[in-house]
């Protein structure tokens, strides 16, 4: 077997968002049936502020095992994080049957709906959020309160529009001009009524899904304002390495304690990840007795049919997409490799 090298320019728009969601769903459902095929993300920071992350997993159903690694220059501020430099992620895929090297994929994968939208592991992140939202949000959900108006928010709205018949989106971010630009660009693309709003309170009022796709380091809305039946999906992960290394003082959070207290169903991408990284949105509230680990359900368990998610239309549900998992990256990478080879793309490596 000659492995294939896929370069960044070959990845733009190579898969649809729907295809990405299905690939990620496969990865998590297989992990739900077999806990040994995924390891928590590992991350290190060096004094310059550069961090590197490694996501390792195997997806037999996709015929692949391997890892994804990515590196960013991170600048933490009191209420948010910025990334002055984003560098090419790399996916390394091996054959799941015999372990031969199958392919090396260099660069950010983007979806066909937004081929030029580049965010840190943006496609996989949005696809994971959609897979979690799909099993927890009410089937008749059609109104969204969206926090964030940059690359992650764009990907997430495309993903959400693929799993629910949306009618209205209210978008809020710190900068009103960014909200208006987001609405002007994404409304026609998705044929949706997208309305910028001026406060977090307005964003969560009268909606079925609250989606937070921000770079915030502090809670973005008051959980006491959540209405019965709403679903919340949130993406901010951990910065414990920055805290322990003295780069910043506080752990990141995107939701408050009230949101956790009021949620009838608490779901997460990886429980082990939350514990390993002492993630602020879950680990600290557990330490304070606000919630218990026993309440938290991994999304893979729901997809595998081992645990229940939402059981009534009045429940408030929460999905914490708390870090990219290797099973998602490997499943997505395997799909991309297949697509590239079918199109005659990539370079065969003589090794």
Q: What is the mean pLDDT of the chain?
A: 94
| 106 φ, ψ (degrees, to nearest 5) | -115, 120
pTM confidence score:
0.95
d(CA 264, CA 306) in angstroms, rounded, equals: 18
Average the pLDDT over 196-222 and give the result: 95
Q: Which two tokens stand for residue 161?
A: 């529009």
d(CA 144, CA 270) in angstroms, rounded, equals: 25
pLDDT at 244 over 70: no
Pick from 27-31, 238-242, 273-277: least confident: 238-242
Residues in the chain: 351
Residue among 54, 70, 59 at smallest CA distance from 95: 59
76-96 pLDDT, tens digit each: 777 777 877 778 999 999 999
Average the pLDDT over 8-29 and give the result: 98
pLDDT value at position 238? 67
Q: Which two tokens stand for residue 18?
A: 């729907």
- Largest Cα separation within the chain, whole Å, is 60
Residue among 43, 24, 103, 94 at smallest CA distance from 65: 94
Strand partners, 12: none
Number of other residues whose CB lies within 10 A of the CB of residue 188: 10
Give CATH 3.30.1780.10 domain extents, the chain.
Answer: 4-118+326-348
pLDDT value at position 20? 98
Strand partners, 234: 212, 320
Number of other residues whose CB lies within 10 A of the CB of residue 348: 10
Pick from 13-27, 68-82, 220-234, 235-249: least confident: 235-249
Within 8 A by CB and 6+ apart from 84, the residues are: 73, 75
92-117 pLDDT, tens digit each: 999 999 999 999 999 999 999 999 99
- Domain 136-320, classified CATH 2.60.40.10, yes or no: no
299-315 pLDDT, tens digit each: 999 999 999 999 999 99
Res. 250 pLDDT band, cuts 50 70 90: confident
Assigned architecture for domain 4-118+326-348: 2-Layer Sandwich (3.30)
Give CATH 3.40.50.720 domain extents, the chain.
Answer: 136-320
pLDDT value at position 241? 62
d(CA 92, CA 53) in angstroms, rounded, equals: 14
117-156 pLDDT, tens digit each: 988 899 999 999 999 999 999 999 999 999 999 999 999 9
Average the pLDDT over 182-189 and give the result: 97
pLDDT at 6 over 80: yes
């Amino acid at each position: 077997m000659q492995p294939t090298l896929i370069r960044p320019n070959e990845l733009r728009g190579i898969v649809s968002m729907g295809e990405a969601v299905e690939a990620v769903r496969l990865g998590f459902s297989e992990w739900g049936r077999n806990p040994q095929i995924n390891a928590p993300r590992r991350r290190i920071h060096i004094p310059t502020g550069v961090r590197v992350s490694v996501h390792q997993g195997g997806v037999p159903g996709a015929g692949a095992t391997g890892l994804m690694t990515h590196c960013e220059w991170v600048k933490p501020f009191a209420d948010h994080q910025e990334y002055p430099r984003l560098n090419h992620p790399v996916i390394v895929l091996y054959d799941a049957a015999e372990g031969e090297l199958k392919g090396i994929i260099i660069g950010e994968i983007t979806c066909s709906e937004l081929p030029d939208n580049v965010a840190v592991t943006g496609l996989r992140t949005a696809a994971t959020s959609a897979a979690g939202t799909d099993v927890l949000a009410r089937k008749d959900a059609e109104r969204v309160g969206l926090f964030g108006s940059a690359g992650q928010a764009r990907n997430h709205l495309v993903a959400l529009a693929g799993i629910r018949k949306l009618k209205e989106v209210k978008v809020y971010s710190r900068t009103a001009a960014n909200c208006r630009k987001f609405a002007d660009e994404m409304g026609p693309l998705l044929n949706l009524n997208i309305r910028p709003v001026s406060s977090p309170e307005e964003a969560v009022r009268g909606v079925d899904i609250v989606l937070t796709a921000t770079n915030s380091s502090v809670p973005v809305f008051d959980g006491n304002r959540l209405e019965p039946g709403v679903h919340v999906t949130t993406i901010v992960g951990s910065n414990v390495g920055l805290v322990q290394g003295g780069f910043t003082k506080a752990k990141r959070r995107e939701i408050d304690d009230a949101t956790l207290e009021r949620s009838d169903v608490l779901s997460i991408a990886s429980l082990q990840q939350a514990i390993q990284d002492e993630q602020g949105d879950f680990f600290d509230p557990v330490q304070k007795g606000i919630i218990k680990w026993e309440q938290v359900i991994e999304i893979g368990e729901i997809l595998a049919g081992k645990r229940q998610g939402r059981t009534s239309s009045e429940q408030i549900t929460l999905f914490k997409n708390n870090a990219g998992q290797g099973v998602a990256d490997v499943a997505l990478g395997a799909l991309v490799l297949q697509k590239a080879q079918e199109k005659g793309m990539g370079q065969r490596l003589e090794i």
